[in-house]
Amino acid sequence: GQSLEQPSEVTAVEGAIVQINCTYQTSGFYGLSWYQQHDGGAPTFLSYNALDGLEETGRFSSFLSRSDSYGYLLLQELQMKDSASYFCAVRDQGGSYIPTFGRGTSLIVHP
Amino acid sequence: EPEVTQTPSHQVTQMGQEVILRCVPISNHLYFYWYRQILGQKVEFLVSFYNNEISEKSEIFDDQFSVERPDGSNFTLKIRSTKLEDSAMYFCASHGQSDIYGYTFGSGTRLTVV
What confidence tens digit (pLDDT) does each residue in A44-53 have? Answer: 999 999 899 9
Shortest distance, CA A89 to any CA of chain B (angstroms): 10
Give the C-alpha separation, A7 to A20, whole Å: 7
For residue B107, the chain A residues in CB contact (below 8 A) are: 41-42
Give the C-alpha separation, B94 to B102, whole Å: 9
End-to-end CA distance of chain B: 36
Calculate mean pLDDT across residues A28-55: 90
Shortest distance, CA A43 to any CA of chain B (angstroms): 6
Residue A94: pLDDT band with limits 50, 70, 90: low
Give the C-alpha separation, B21 to A110, whole Å: 37
Is the per-residue pLDDT at A98 higher than 80?
no
Is the per-residue pLDDT at A95 higher than 60?
no
Contact between A103 and B106 using a beta-carbon 8 Å cutoff: no
Which residue ranges in chain B fall short of pLDDT 70? 98-101
* Whether B97 contacts chain A with CB within 8 A: no
pLDDT for res A27 = 76
CA-wise closest residue to B90 among B63, B113, B59? B113
* Whether B102 contacts chain A with CB within 8 A: yes
State how far Cα B1 lies from the chain centre: 21
